[in-house]
Chains A and B, each alone.
Chain A
Amino acid sequence: DTAVSQTPKYLVTQMGNDKSIKCEQNLGHDTMYWYKQDSKKFLKIMFSYNNKELIINETVPNRFSPKSPDKAHLNLHINSLELGDSAVYFCASSQTGGAPTEAFFGQGTRLTVV
Protein backbone atom coordinates (compact mmCIF):
# COMPACT_ATOMS: atom_id res chain seq x y z
CA ASP A 1 0.00 0.00 0.00
CA THR A 2 1.35 3.40 -0.99
CA ALA A 3 1.74 5.66 2.04
CA VAL A 4 1.19 8.99 0.26
CA SER A 5 -0.40 8.84 -3.15
CA GLN A 6 -1.08 11.73 -5.46
CA THR A 7 -2.79 11.81 -8.81
CA PRO A 8 -2.20 12.43 -11.59
CA LYS A 9 1.51 11.84 -12.03
CA TYR A 10 1.60 13.98 -15.17
CA LEU A 11 -0.67 16.86 -16.08
CA VAL A 12 -0.42 18.84 -19.31
CA THR A 13 -2.89 21.66 -19.73
CA GLN A 14 -3.40 24.97 -21.47
CA MET A 15 -2.99 28.40 -19.96
CA GLY A 16 -6.12 29.68 -18.34
CA ASN A 17 -7.49 26.26 -17.41
CA ASP A 18 -8.43 25.14 -13.90
CA LYS A 19 -6.99 21.87 -12.61
CA SER A 20 -6.79 19.80 -9.44
CA ILE A 21 -4.24 17.45 -7.98
CA LYS A 22 -5.41 14.91 -5.43
CA CYS A 23 -3.47 13.58 -2.46
CA GLU A 24 -4.25 10.89 0.06
CA GLN A 25 -2.22 9.49 2.94
CA ASN A 26 -2.92 6.26 4.82
CA LEU A 27 -0.37 6.79 7.58
CA GLY A 28 -2.74 8.40 10.07
CA HIS A 29 -0.59 11.54 10.14
CA ASP A 30 -2.04 14.76 11.48
CA THR A 31 -0.37 17.16 9.06
CA MET A 32 -0.25 17.31 5.27
CA TYR A 33 1.69 19.62 2.97
CA TRP A 34 2.03 20.80 -0.59
CA TYR A 35 5.48 21.62 -1.94
CA LYS A 36 6.48 23.06 -5.30
CA GLN A 37 9.74 22.04 -6.95
CA ASP A 38 10.85 24.44 -9.65
CA SER A 39 13.01 23.82 -12.69
CA LYS A 40 16.16 24.37 -10.59
CA LYS A 41 15.02 21.61 -8.22
CA PHE A 42 14.33 24.03 -5.37
CA LEU A 43 11.59 22.72 -3.06
CA LYS A 44 9.37 25.31 -1.44
CA ILE A 45 6.51 24.84 0.98
CA MET A 46 3.17 26.10 -0.31
CA PHE A 47 0.64 24.94 2.26
CA SER A 48 0.45 23.00 5.45
CA TYR A 49 -2.72 21.53 6.95
CA ASN A 50 -2.92 20.26 10.50
CA ASN A 51 -6.10 18.39 11.36
CA LYS A 52 -7.92 20.12 8.51
CA GLU A 53 -6.82 23.60 9.51
CA LEU A 54 -4.49 25.67 7.38
CA ILE A 55 -1.56 26.58 9.56
CA ILE A 56 0.82 28.16 7.09
CA ASN A 57 0.34 29.70 3.71
CA GLU A 58 3.54 30.91 2.15
CA THR A 59 3.41 33.66 -0.47
CA VAL A 60 1.42 31.64 -2.95
CA PRO A 61 -0.98 33.29 -5.42
CA ASN A 62 -4.60 32.93 -4.40
CA ARG A 63 -5.19 31.03 -7.65
CA PHE A 64 -3.89 28.09 -5.62
CA SER A 65 -6.26 26.75 -3.03
CA PRO A 66 -5.84 23.67 -0.85
CA LYS A 67 -8.92 21.71 0.07
CA SER A 68 -8.93 19.14 2.85
CA PRO A 69 -12.16 17.14 3.14
CA ASP A 70 -10.65 15.09 5.97
CA LYS A 71 -7.27 14.65 7.58
CA ALA A 72 -6.27 11.89 5.13
CA HIS A 73 -6.78 14.04 2.04
CA LEU A 74 -5.33 17.34 0.87
CA ASN A 75 -6.17 18.35 -2.68
CA LEU A 76 -4.68 21.27 -4.57
CA HIS A 77 -6.86 23.34 -6.88
CA ILE A 78 -5.28 25.74 -9.32
CA ASN A 79 -7.33 28.31 -11.20
CA SER A 80 -6.36 30.24 -14.33
CA LEU A 81 -3.14 28.35 -14.88
CA GLU A 82 -0.12 30.33 -16.04
CA LEU A 83 3.09 29.24 -17.79
CA GLY A 84 5.03 29.91 -14.59
CA ASP A 85 2.99 27.33 -12.72
CA SER A 86 4.82 24.59 -14.59
CA ALA A 87 6.68 22.61 -11.93
CA VAL A 88 6.59 19.38 -9.96
CA TYR A 89 4.15 19.47 -7.07
CA PHE A 90 4.69 17.18 -4.11
CA CYS A 91 2.22 16.24 -1.46
CA ALA A 92 3.64 15.10 1.87
CA SER A 93 2.46 14.13 5.32
CA SER A 94 3.98 13.86 8.77
CA GLN A 95 3.03 13.43 12.37
CA THR A 96 3.67 16.65 14.28
CA GLY A 97 1.90 15.90 17.54
CA GLY A 98 3.15 13.31 20.01
CA ALA A 99 6.24 11.71 18.50
CA PRO A 100 7.02 13.74 15.33
CA THR A 101 8.05 11.81 12.26
CA GLU A 102 9.84 12.61 9.07
CA ALA A 103 7.74 13.81 6.15
CA PHE A 104 6.64 11.15 3.70
CA PHE A 105 6.30 12.35 0.13
CA GLY A 106 4.06 11.35 -2.72
CA GLN A 107 5.65 10.57 -6.07
CA GLY A 108 5.04 14.10 -7.37
CA THR A 109 2.86 15.56 -10.11
CA ARG A 110 4.65 17.12 -13.06
CA LEU A 111 2.47 19.97 -14.23
CA THR A 112 3.18 21.45 -17.65
CA VAL A 113 1.25 24.52 -18.74
CA VAL A 114 1.36 25.22 -22.47
Chain B
Amino acid sequence: AQKITQTQPGMFVQEKEAVTLDCTYDTSDQSYGLFWYKQPSSGEMIFLIYQGSYDEQNATEGRYSLNFQKARKSANLVISASQLGDSAMYFCAMREKNSGYALNFGKGTSLLVTP
Protein backbone atom coordinates (compact mmCIF):
# COMPACT_ATOMS: atom_id res chain seq x y z
CA ALA B 1 0.00 0.00 0.00
CA GLN B 2 1.19 3.48 -0.80
CA LYS B 3 2.47 5.16 2.33
CA ILE B 4 2.64 8.65 0.89
CA THR B 5 -0.10 10.01 -1.33
CA GLN B 6 0.18 13.15 -3.40
CA THR B 7 -3.08 13.58 -5.23
CA GLN B 8 -2.09 16.51 -7.47
CA PRO B 9 0.00 15.36 -10.43
CA GLY B 10 0.25 18.95 -11.69
CA MET B 11 -0.45 22.41 -10.33
CA PHE B 12 -0.34 25.93 -11.74
CA VAL B 13 0.15 29.08 -9.73
CA GLN B 14 0.67 32.66 -10.71
CA GLU B 15 3.84 34.43 -9.67
CA LYS B 16 3.62 36.05 -6.20
CA GLU B 17 0.63 33.92 -5.21
CA ALA B 18 0.67 31.23 -2.54
CA VAL B 19 0.17 27.57 -3.38
CA THR B 20 -0.52 24.46 -1.30
CA LEU B 21 0.75 21.05 -2.34
CA ASP B 22 -1.11 18.19 -0.70
CA CYS B 23 0.40 15.18 1.02
CA THR B 24 -1.21 12.48 3.13
CA TYR B 25 0.62 9.61 4.77
CA ASP B 26 -0.03 6.28 6.39
CA THR B 27 1.95 4.87 9.29
CA SER B 28 1.45 2.96 12.50
CA ASP B 29 4.68 4.31 14.00
CA GLN B 30 4.44 6.93 16.71
CA SER B 31 7.80 8.38 15.76
CA TYR B 32 8.30 9.42 12.15
CA GLY B 33 9.50 12.30 10.08
CA LEU B 34 7.96 14.05 7.10
CA PHE B 35 10.00 15.78 4.43
CA TRP B 36 9.53 17.82 1.31
CA TYR B 37 12.03 17.82 -1.51
CA LYS B 38 12.18 19.89 -4.69
CA GLN B 39 13.49 18.50 -7.95
CA PRO B 40 14.02 21.13 -10.66
CA SER B 41 14.45 20.19 -14.29
CA SER B 42 18.21 19.94 -13.72
CA GLY B 43 17.48 16.80 -11.68
CA GLU B 44 19.04 17.35 -8.26
CA MET B 45 17.05 16.64 -5.09
CA ILE B 46 16.85 19.69 -2.85
CA PHE B 47 15.67 19.37 0.76
CA LEU B 48 13.09 22.00 1.67
CA ILE B 49 11.53 21.33 5.05
CA TYR B 50 11.12 18.74 7.80
CA GLN B 51 8.41 18.01 10.35
CA GLY B 52 8.83 15.51 13.17
CA SER B 53 5.82 13.62 14.42
CA TYR B 54 6.27 15.01 17.92
CA ASP B 55 6.77 18.60 16.81
CA GLU B 56 3.87 20.69 18.04
CA GLN B 57 4.60 23.69 15.87
CA ASN B 58 4.32 23.64 12.10
CA ALA B 59 7.73 23.80 10.46
CA THR B 60 8.69 26.91 8.51
CA GLU B 61 11.72 27.64 6.33
CA GLY B 62 11.63 30.99 4.61
CA ARG B 63 8.80 30.93 2.06
CA TYR B 64 8.05 27.28 2.82
CA SER B 65 5.78 26.12 5.59
CA LEU B 66 4.40 22.72 6.40
CA ASN B 67 0.77 22.47 7.45
CA PHE B 68 0.94 19.43 9.72
CA GLN B 69 -2.38 17.90 10.76
CA LYS B 70 -1.48 14.77 12.66
CA ALA B 71 -4.99 13.48 13.23
CA ARG B 72 -5.72 13.73 9.52
CA LYS B 73 -2.25 12.36 8.65
CA SER B 74 -1.60 15.23 6.31
CA ALA B 75 1.54 17.28 5.77
CA ASN B 76 0.81 19.87 3.11
CA LEU B 77 3.51 22.17 1.79
CA VAL B 78 2.66 25.83 1.47
CA ILE B 79 4.82 28.02 -0.74
CA SER B 80 4.18 31.71 -0.26
CA ALA B 81 4.94 34.42 -2.81
CA SER B 82 5.70 31.96 -5.62
CA GLN B 83 8.62 32.71 -7.90
CA LEU B 84 9.33 31.49 -11.41
CA GLY B 85 12.22 29.47 -10.01
CA ASP B 86 9.79 27.47 -7.91
CA SER B 87 8.67 25.59 -11.02
CA ALA B 88 9.75 22.00 -10.32
CA MET B 89 8.63 18.59 -9.10
CA TYR B 90 7.87 18.46 -5.40
CA PHE B 91 8.07 15.25 -3.44
CA CYS B 92 6.64 14.50 -0.03
CA ALA B 93 8.44 11.74 1.88
CA MET B 94 8.22 9.94 5.19
CA ARG B 95 10.89 8.32 7.29
CA GLU B 96 9.96 5.61 9.77
CA LYS B 97 12.17 3.69 12.13
CA ASN B 98 10.81 0.35 10.95
CA SER B 99 11.78 1.10 7.35
CA GLY B 100 15.43 1.44 8.26
CA TYR B 101 15.09 5.23 8.18
CA ALA B 102 14.86 5.19 4.38
CA LEU B 103 12.58 7.76 2.84
CA ASN B 104 9.34 6.60 1.26
CA PHE B 105 8.37 9.06 -1.42
CA GLY B 106 5.07 10.09 -2.92
CA LYS B 107 4.67 10.26 -6.68
CA GLY B 108 5.30 13.97 -6.74
CA THR B 109 3.50 17.11 -7.86
CA SER B 110 4.71 19.10 -10.83
CA LEU B 111 4.38 22.82 -10.08
CA LEU B 112 4.43 25.43 -12.80
CA VAL B 113 4.67 29.08 -11.81
CA THR B 114 3.39 31.43 -14.49
CA PRO B 115 4.20 35.14 -14.91
Contact = CB atoms under 8 A, between A and B. Distances in A.
Range of interface residues on B (Cβ < 8 Å):
20 to 34
B102 A45 contact: yes
| Chain A interface mostly | strand
Contact of B101 (A42, A48, A110): A48
B103 interface: yes
Interface in B85-114: 89, 91, 95, 99-105, 107-108
Contact of B100 (A48, A92, A102): A48
Range of interface residues on A (Cβ < 8 Å):
20 to 34
Interface string B18-42: 0000000000000001010101000
A102 B47 contact: yes
Given A41-B89, A103-B47, A108-B43, A56 B102 contact: yes
Given A102-B47, A105-B44, A40 B100 contact: no
Interface-centre pick from B45, B50, B95, B104 (highest chain A CB count, 10 A): B45
Nearest to B44: A107
B44 A42 contact: no
Interface of B: 33, 35, 37, 39, 43-45, 47, 50, 89, 91, 95, 99-105, 107-108
